[in-house]
Every structure is written in C-alpha cells, then in structure tokens.
Amino acid sequence: MERKLRGEIFRRSFMVQACWNFEKLQNVGFAWAIYPALRVLYKGRELGESVRRHLEIFNTQPFMASFALGVTVKMEEERAALEPARAQAAAERISEIKAALAPPLAAIGDKLFWSTLRPFTLVVSLLVWWLLGLRQWSLPLEVIKQNESHFRFDMPRMLVGLLAGLAVYNAMAIWIRWKGLKYGYKCGAHGACGIDFMDWQGFIGRLRACGFGAALLLLALKAYGPLSLGFRLGADRRETVVLALLPLVMALTFFTARLGMRNSSLYFGALALCAASLFFI
C-alpha cells in the first residue's frame, strides 16, 4: 500500500462511526474509509459493486477497525487480480474475514481503551493538576469553604491537566490506528491480523498496574491534604484517619490478591481494619 493511500484511509478511519446505524452499525463508515483503495482497484460498475459489498453489517471497537481495514485492502487487491470466475469466491471470503475479525478486535479494544486507558488518563490529569498546584480536589469540602479566599481556580493550569490526559489517551489511539492499518495490510488474512499484533493481555495488565499505582498515589495525596491542614484548621480527626488509611487498605488488598487470597477474605479484612482504627480513635 502506498503511503499516500494509507494516509487517506487512515484519515477516513476517524469517521468510521460517523454514520452508525441500528441496522448495519458501522457499515457506512467502513465503506467510506476503504473507498480510496476501491477507487484505485475498480472502475465504473465494478467500483459501485465493491462499495455495496462493504455496506454489509460491520461493528467493532472504532480504534481497532484499522486492522480490519488493512486486511480488507490487501484482500481486495488480491481479488482484483483474479479472473471473474474466482472473484465471487474471493468476495465471499472477504466478508467472512471481516465478520471473523470484528468481535475479537472489539473485545481487545473495549478492554484496552474503555476499561483501562480511559480511567488511567483521568488519574494522569489529576496528578498533573496536583503538580501544578491545583489541589482543591484533595481537601475536605468544609476546609475549602472555611478558606475559600485562599483557593482560586486557574483556567490555564486546568487546561494543561485536561490536555495532558487527552494527549495520553489520543496518542495511544492514533498509534493503534496507524500501526493497525499497516499491520493488517501486511498480514492480509494469512494470520491473526491484529490479535497477534502484540501481547495485548500483558500490555493491558502492565497498564492497569501503572494505573493502580497512580491511583494509590492519588489517594495518598488526598489523605495528605487533611493530614496537613485538617488538624490545624479543626477538621474531624476520624475523617483524617480514614483518608490516611485508604491507600494502605488498597495496597494491602492488591498485594494479598496477588498471593491468591479469596476476595471475600480481603473485603472482610479491610472492613475489620477500618472498623478497628475508628474504634480506637
């Protein structure tokens, strides 16, 4: 695939959900994205027929659709070189491969982007706000009300935090779109074509571990505010202790879970620890 053609399909892949519909889901967006390749391969009536073939039902995670696009472009190139007697069978195989790729790509993409990367980027934004000095979110509401004159929202710094989170999320999404298109084309339905692009489960596990560590840091920062200001400004001591215990409880839960303890034991142990700490305050 020429780089110019790849770039055009890549740009159009951002619109794969623009015409999402309940009847055939992402079919219009997929046909729109792959049209530049079809326009090179077919002319006249054959071009119209090839577009209609790609208006069949299709649905996957939008960032992962580029893998299916790359595979389909390669298979369409191979089909265009066949004689008419074999072209129909090749068209049916293209439909079968598209239908087979969509569910596993959707499962991987949902787990990576919706369940893991999206909450991770929220943590990134909060950490950036903390580093920039926007720490109101880490303090009890009563403390903020009592010292309202000391807190000012700074829009430029808030935008920096938001943009940092968006940059992390979109950098991954754009990279997957670009690499997926190239990898799918190279694979050409002669392998798993996206499912074997990387160790998805290992990558998601490492990203979740990073997110968990960042979340623990956030809880520690949340506890730091009441610990540093709470006693000085008269905040409730129990609230301060509970906030200080949250990172500890989460860390113990995580590490004991890795040792194989059952979830019920972890929950009861965490509740007992919190109850005991409140009783002796």
Whether pLDDT at 19 is above 50: yes
Quickly state the pLDDT bin for 230 (edges 50, 70, 90).
Answer: very low
Least confident of 62-71, 90-99, 130-139: 130-139
Q: What is the CA radius of gyration of the chain?
A: 26
Residue 4 tokens, joined: 């110019």
Residue 54 in this model has a pLDDT that exceeds 90 = yes
β-bridge mates for residue 21, sequence order = 25
pLDDT number for residue 231: 45
Residue in the block written with tokens 């409880």: 249
* pLDDT at residue 264, rounded to an integer: 59
What's the pLDDT tens digit per position in 231-276? Answer: 444 445 555 555 556 666 666 666 666 666 555 565 566 666 666 6
Tokens in use for 190?
A: 């002669």
Q: Which stretches of 25-83 are DSSP H helices? A: 27-41, 45-53, 65-80
d(CA 128, CA 135): 10
CA distance 213 to 217: 6
Using CA atoms, how far apart are residues 27 and 15, in angstroms rounded to an integer? 11
Helix axes 65-80, 155-187, angle to 10 degrees: 30
Which range in 29-33, 116-120, 158-162 is most confidently predicted, on average pLDDT? 29-33
Question: Mean pLDDT across the stretch 169-173?
Answer: 94
Which residue type does 177 have? R
Confidence bin at 59 (pLDDT 50/70/90): very high
At 179, list the tokens.
Answer: 């690499």
Which has the closest alpha carbon to 180: 169, 165, 195? 195
Q: Is the separation of the CB atoms in 35 and 52 below 8 Å?
A: no
227 Cβ contact partners less than 8 Å away, ≥ 6 residues apart: 240, 243, 244
| Vertex 162 angle, CA 7 and 229, to 5° | 160
Question: What average pLDDT does this structure show over 206-221?
Answer: 80
The whole-number pLDDT of residue 234 equals 47
What is the phi/psi pair of residue 26, to 5°?
-95, 20
Say how far apart CA 232 and CA 84 lie, in whole Å: 84
- What's the mean pLDDT when you consider all of the chain? 81
Burial 205-235 (b: 16+ CB within 10 A, else e): eeebeebeebbbebbbbbbbbbbebbeeeeb
pLDDT (average), residues 216-237? 58
pLDDT beyond 70 at 179? yes
What is the widest separation between alpha-carbon atoms in the chain?
85
Beta carbons of 36 and 13 less than 8 angstroms apart: no
AA identity, residue 190: H
pLDDT at 254: 64
The string of pLDDT tens digits covering residues 101-150 is 999 999 999 999 988 999 899 888 888 888 887 766 666 556 556 655 55
Question: If you average pLDDT over residues 45-66, what whole number do you get?
Answer: 93
